Amino acid sequence: MKIAMVCHPTHGGSGVVASELGMRLAGKGHEVHFVSHERPFRLDPMTIGVHFHRVHVSSYPLFRYPPYALALANQLSRVIQDHDIDIVHAHYAIPHSLAGILARNMNRDRDVKVVTTLHGTDITLVGTDPSYTDITRWAMEESDYVTGVSDWLAEETQQTLGQQLIVKTIPNAVDTEAFSPEKACPNLRQRFCSGGELLVAHVSNFRPVKRTEDVIRIFAKASEGLSVRMLMIGDGPDRAAAEAEARRLSIWDRVEWLGIIDDTAPLLASSDLFLLPSENESFGLAALEAMACGLPVVATGSGGIPEVVIEGETGSLAAVGDIETLARKARELIEDEERRSSFAGTARQRVLERFRWDPVIEQYETAYGQLFSGGS
């Protein structure tokens, strides 16, 4: 099939999932055209069968807000015509799904279908914002097929936008070779903890939903009196507040602020524990990548996280903002090497059994096929 893939190109789970999906579909003989304002960071330009089309957004004095969605729809329409596209697969509802629907409707003489994959904040934040609720609902109704990355997100979408919407759960997956305990790098460990301390890691875009200050508070409590260091990977609006919290709690010298890193696997695989105390995660791809590297995860049990992290088996869960419990559970894992290594093994095993790409690709291919065989 010929697929136009639309996604956010920046660091974030939805762009990663779209890129990995597109490259794997191309590997199975599909022709995949990515359409975005930048090349997605995980998209390998050398992949055979993958193409990239940049969206150019012109700015005019009358446009106080340059209309990206329209420039995207215009570029998508061109790609549909030039490459005889069968499916526009939009990752994230607004504006991607909407632009896909516009482009499809601009080409009514062709049989183009729109598949929308919901990733989380497109429903939980954007979809619940009164400025976007109605248009998000309309985009879902007009999509030919809607998927969500967890059962929780599928149900949340129905509750937010209407029970009549059909949302098929297709979970995220991870490259189990790229994210593997084998990526551990002794030099990295030495660089961050020359005295043989343990390493705790966090990866995110440091947005409010990630509760980055809680990461610091949990680490401070969990590591009190112990030889442990923290790797903060990523960047975003709450970094300054998290840095201030680290100073306030006098743990500044035990935290490394690494900024945005494209390949996090060596850092994760060289660490011992992962923290994800988010307000909400529809899925928690960052936790899945950590588990694939053999890390136990201490996280909030919010949203779709319990579909990924199993309490008492691959990690520990507690309520949002419950620093005491999250820190206690993290400390238990730091202090108990046997428990930590048992969780680490089970985490990797769970990823291999439930979150590999091959079956996920098949589910997307089945969805695509149903659209052209009259099924739904």
Binding site for ligand GMT (CB under 6 A): 12-15, 17, 92, 119-121, 149, 172, 205, 207, 209, 280-285
Residue in 305, 205, 318, 323 with CA at minimum distance from that of residue 264: 205
User: Least Å distance between CB 196 and ligand GMT?
Assistant: 33
Residue in 333, 306, 335, 310 with CA at minimum distance from that of residue 320: 306
Closer CB to ligand GMT, 85 or 286, in the complex: 286
DSSP label of 234: B
Chain-centroid distance of CA 38 in Å reads 18
Contact 62, 31 (CB under 8 A): no
Closer CB to ligand GMT, 95 or 120, in the complex: 120
Question: Please, which residues have CB within 8 angstroms of residue 305's CB and are 6 or more apart in sequence?
Answer: 276, 278, 281, 283, 284, 287, 299, 317
Closer CB to ligand GMT, 294 or 303, in the complex: 303
Contact 134, 125 (CB under 8 A): no
Closer CB to ligand GMT, 172 or 271, in the complex: 172
User: Least Å distance between CB 282 and ligand GMT?
Assistant: 4
CB atoms within 10 A of CB 5: 29
Closer CB to ligand GMT, 192 or 355, in the complex: 355
User: Least Å distance between CB 125 and ligand GMT?
Assistant: 8
Q: Give whole-number Cα distances, 197 to 189, 200, 211, 214, 225, in Å.
A: 9, 10, 25, 22, 12
Closer CB to ligand GMT, 12 or 193, in the complex: 12
User: Least Å distance between CB 375 and ligand GMT?
Assistant: 25
User: Least Å distance between CB 287 and ligand GMT?
Assistant: 8
Residue in 7, 16, 11 with CA at minimum distance from that of residue 233: 11
User: Least Å distance between CB 172 and ligand GMT?
Assistant: 5
Closer CB to ligand GMT, 12 or 296, in the complex: 12
User: Least Å distance between CB 303 and ligand GMT?
Assistant: 6
The tokens of 81 are what? Answer: 């015509």
Residue in 176, 214, 200, 201 with CA at minimum distance from that of residue 302: 214
